[in-house]
Amino acid sequence: MSVENPALSARAAAQTFDEVYGAHFEYVHRIVSRLSGRREVEDLVQEVFLVVHRKLPAFEGRASITTWLFAICHRVVRAHARKERVRRTFLGVFGRSDTERPPPPDPLRALEDREQRERVDQVLAKLAWKKKVVLLMFEVEGWSCADIAQALEIPPNTVYTRLHHARRDFAFLLSGSEGGEP
């Protein structure tokens, strides 16, 4: 482990957002590309820099700026991958319309699809109503958290909390339903 030069750390901690963005955009883009497999890189890089903008005043320079940026890139890409797995599961089961979901190529695939839909329905039935509503509005219907909060007349942070817990519970229950009861 390398020891950080205190003079460099203090200078890095005092950088403005524009300086960090200008000096490290290519680095962040390269790291996000490698971690995400080059999918949705621009959106993820933008999300990384939103976090940087919000967290930069708290950056103390105990580690190098690139180490700090790498940690943010890692968390953003990991969170995105987790959300996409849940989203793919829901879209695979519910699909937005019959025209978006091609017919199964064979009877075995149709049976597998029906079994997966039944598993998801069983898991959804086990979720608390408040969690299930937020999960379905966000993942299946594509509503934003702000729109959900307005529609349900609850604070946006409550939506984020319910969505987080709903995703966690859904993943846990689904893994339990595939391999027996948890």
pTM of the complete model = 0.50
Q: Is the model's pLDDT at 24 over the cut of 90? A: yes
Residues found in the chain: 182
Q: Is residue 141 one of the residues assigned to a domain?
A: yes
Same domain for 109 and 74: no
Q: What tokens does 47 get?
A: 């999300």
* Alpha-carbon span 15 to 2, nearest angstrom: 22
Residue 25's pLDDT band (cuts 50, 70, 90): very high
Q: pLDDT tens digits for 55-103?
A: 999 998 888 898 899 889 988 988 888 787 777 777 766 665 544 555 5
Q: What tokens does 2 get?
A: 């390398």
- Domain count for the chain, please give it: 2
Same domain for 117 and 76: no
The per-residue pLDDT for 6 is: 46
Q: What tokens does 16 get?
A: 């403005």
> Sign (positive/negative) of CA torsion 46, 73, 51, 142?
positive
Q: pLDDT tens digits for 121-155?
A: 788 889 898 998 888 888 877 788 988 888 888 99
**Residue where one domain finishes, among candidates 39, 56, 84:** 84
- 8 A C-beta contact, residue 132 and residue 124: yes
Q: Is residue 93 one of the residues assigned to a domain?
A: no
The per-residue pLDDT for 135 is: 87
* CA angle in degrees (0–180, nearest 5) for 138-142-143: 65
The per-residue pLDDT for 156 is: 94
* Alpha-carbon span 71 to 38, nearest angstrom: 18
CATH code at position 144? 1.10.10.10
Range of the domain at 19: 6-84
Q: Is residue 91 one of the residues assigned to a domain?
A: no
Same domain for 80 and 11: yes
Q: Is residue 97 one of the residues assigned to a domain?
A: no
